[in-house]
Chain A
Amino acid sequence: MPETIITSDRASVDLDACYNPSTGVLDRRIFTDRLVYEEELERIFGRGWNFICHESQIPDTGNFFVSFIGEDEVIAVRDRAGKVNVLLNSCPHRGNTVCRAELGTTKSFMCSYHGWNFDLDGSLLAVPNEEAFYKGGLDKKDWGLESAANVESYKGFYFATLDPDAPPLIEYLGWVGKLSIDMMLVDGPIQFLDGIHKNRLKCNWKFAVDNLYDWYHVKVTHGTAFKVGLVTEEAMAPNDQMVILGEYGHGIGGPGLTLEQQAEFDRRQASGEGESQWYDIQAGHRTDAATREMLGPVGHRSFGHPNIFPNLWVTHTRQMCLRIPRGPFETEIWWFNYLPVGLPDAQSKQSIYSHNHVFGPAGFLEQDDGENWSHSTRGAKGTRSKNRPLNFSMGLGHDTVSTDPSGQSGIETVVNEHGQRWTYQCWKEWMQADSWQTLKENHSKPPQGSV
């Protein structure tokens, strides 16, 4: 039986009752309870497929990039056979990190404590004074760096899982996770850029994830961006929205073209009438048949924000963002940036300007987000305030999932909270399942019909 109640000295959270999908009411103690957090590390980050890096970040033998699966630091490194390994950055002798740099190139990883030296595939190469001190009693093949249980790439995006029972990456992603990555490839193969914006927020990681589906906050939180003319209000927060929900908690929420808007866009393209609507710039990347085929009939009309569960946000600004937990009250925000291979210089320059000025800690949009999420977290700590549940009811019961003959489905509506509700519903199922087997059997399928 799955455990249903997590208790601590400060609070007890009834996982079964903490979220009610029929009302959209959520117990806010899930943002602050330490035991909930520790279970998240085990059951969500420790079990799911976590994005680690893109192949272009470590193209050559010995290139490495350090990332995190929950609070486990891992090294992604390309070995001499060209394979990408994901290794726990912890020496099995005393636990010290074997790699202190965040990126670079190396021939091996030598622990700075006693000099145990590990190959690029994690195997233990050499131990100082092995013969004299261990006298033949150390079997080196048992004492390599621990590898992730599985490492797989989807179109150059490397993910790793610590759970040997996890389904293959492609099954985990499902059509929604794959669509999320395919959306990054609408201009062809990509190259990640050197330099990741990293900063720390005093918020629970789920408030950051929750926000990526939130097109309600844009005009209020980010009002200055259109007031100073950086972007138009209509382009930033159009009322036409589409939500796509996928198994295991993946989702895409945000702007979407109706069939009529798509037809009008196609007509203007064919007649050369040029841009006249908010969606023209983005839809302009999806005019060829191959791209539309890749994204599918519903997917190619979506310009929303995907989240690959649990914590990888994809944007349409050639960026993606990891939200890495650092305890219940702190989250590290990492912005990865990429460009299509062979993009002309002027367009690259324009894209990099956008990378550097929209998101990130100094970004015109994102600098205003942090205190909201931090204070939401703070608001879940108070003895009284933590007992007051949060409202995620927007749009509940007012919308319908329509399924295309291709099998792709979406909710075409206005600003809503379907994505957030789906996230918490799936989060609850992940937390209640005691194994991948249970999760496979007990997780919700994306809704059909009325939502």
Chain B
Amino acid sequence: MSRFPQLTVQERLHLTFEAQEFLYREAELLDDRRLDDWLGLLTEDIHYWMPIRRTTQAKEVHLEFTKLGGMAYFDDDLSTLTLRVKRLSVGRAWAEDPPSRTRHLISNVRVSDVDVDEITVMCNFQLYRTRLNSEEDSWIGRREDVLRRVDGELKLAKRHIFLEQTVILSQNLSSIF
């Protein structure tokens, strides 16, 4: 049950600031390639998901995204995300060897819902990547994240990523959004 409407401005400011601090810190870990530390920010039941987006007629925009449980670019739990990180350290992960250079720009952060121990945070992002000498990719989209307080620390319990692309214009999606 959302308690959000009852919050004071001061309480909302505090929550938003806390969420922003978490998201900025997380982005720093990703861009610094500290992915083992990043895994430490995830809850045991994390759901990391990016549906497939399609171009539809205006009257059929309900078809725009694939549904939960179906086809997706990412539909990962903690063990799958751990494999994504682990594969980078075992050699021959060519999509990231040489490593990409990434920068996560996080903006429009707003807390949309609050529960006893969870904060739902919406944000917009740009993930900018360059590879090798002159490869360049830019992915823009929005995220719906759920941050959960575990032993006093915020952790990421859900990340749903909605990209502003239908055909993915990059050679792969080997970065974490």
Q: Residue B93 at the A interface, CB < 8 A? A: yes
Point out the residues of chain A lying under 8 angstroms from B169, CB to CB.
Answer: 199-200
Q: How far is the CA of A257 from the CA of B156 in the complex (A)?
A: 47
The chain B residue with its CB closest to the CB of A366 is B172
B residues less than 8 Å from A200 (CB atoms): 167-171
Stretch at the interface among B15-23, B72-80, B112-120: B72-80
Residue of A nearest to B168 (CB): A199
Given known contacts A104-B63, A223-B92, A370 and B72 CB-to-CB distance under 8 angstroms: no
- A224–B95 Cα distance when bound, in Å, is 11
Interface pair B172/A361, CB less than 8 Å apart: yes
Interfacial chain A residues near B83, Cβ < 8 Å? 228-230, 364
For B58, the closest partner residue in chain A by CB is A101
The answer to the question of B151 belonging to the interface, with a C-beta cut-off of 8 Å to chain A, is no
By beta carbon, the residue of chain B nearest A66 is B55
Q: Are A224 and B172 touching (Cβ within 8 A)?
A: no
Bitwise, B66-100 to A at CB < 8 A (1) or not (0) is: 11011111110000100110110011111100000
A104-B56, A227-B91 in contact; A201/B171 too (CB < 8 A)?
yes
A352 near B94: Cβ-Cβ < 8 Å? no
Verify B168–A368 contact, CB threshold 8 A: no
Q: In the bound complex, what is the Cα–Cα distance between A228 and B90 (angstroms)?
A: 8
0 or 1 for each of A185-221: is its CB under 8 Å from B? (1 = yes):
0000000011111111110000000000000000011
Decide if A374 is an interface residue (CB 8 Å cutoff): yes
Contact, CB under 8 Å: B173 / A337: no
Contact of B52 with A by CB under 8 A? yes
Question: How many Å lie between the Cα of A39 and that of B63 in the bound state?
Answer: 37
Assess whether B95 is in contact with A195, with CB atoms less than 8 Å apart: no
Establish whether residues B71 and A194, one from each chain, have CB atoms under 8 Å apart when the complex forms.
yes
Report the count of interface residues on B (CB-CB < 8 A): 38
Q: Is the CB of B73 within 8 A of A332?
A: no
B57 within 8 A of A: yes
A104 to B92, CA, bound (A): 41
CA distance A355 to B75 in the complex (A): 10
Q: Is B174 an interface residue (CB 8 A)?
A: yes
- CB < 8 Å: which of A199, A220, A228, A368 contacts B86? A228
Task: Give the distance to chain A from B142, nearest Cβ to Cβ, in Å.
Answer: 18
Asked if B54 is at the interface of the complex by the 8 Å CB criterion, the answer is yes
Question: Which of A223, A225, A349, A368 sits near B95, CB closer than 8 Å?
Answer: A368
Which listed residue (A337, A361, A364) contacts B87, Cβ 8 A?
A364
A-B contact pairs, 24 of them (CB 8 A): A100-B55, A102-B56, A196-B71, A198-B52, A199-B167, A199-B168, A200-B167, A220-B92, A221-B94, A224-B87, A224-B90, A228-B90, A229-B83, A230-B83, A337-B71, A349-B69, A352-B70, A356-B71, A356-B72, A361-B73, A362-B74, A366-B172, A371-B94, A374-B171
Interface residues of A (CB under 8 A from B): 100-106, 193-202, 220-221, 223-225, 227-230, 332, 337, 349, 352-353, 355-357, 360-362, 364, 366-368, 370-372, 374
Supplied contacts A104-B56, A223-B92, 14 more A-B pairs, CB within 8 Å: A101-B54, A102-B55, A194-B66, A221-B94, A224-B92, A227-B92, A228-B90, A356-B72, A357-B80, A360-B73, A361-B172, A362-B73, A367-B95, A374-B171
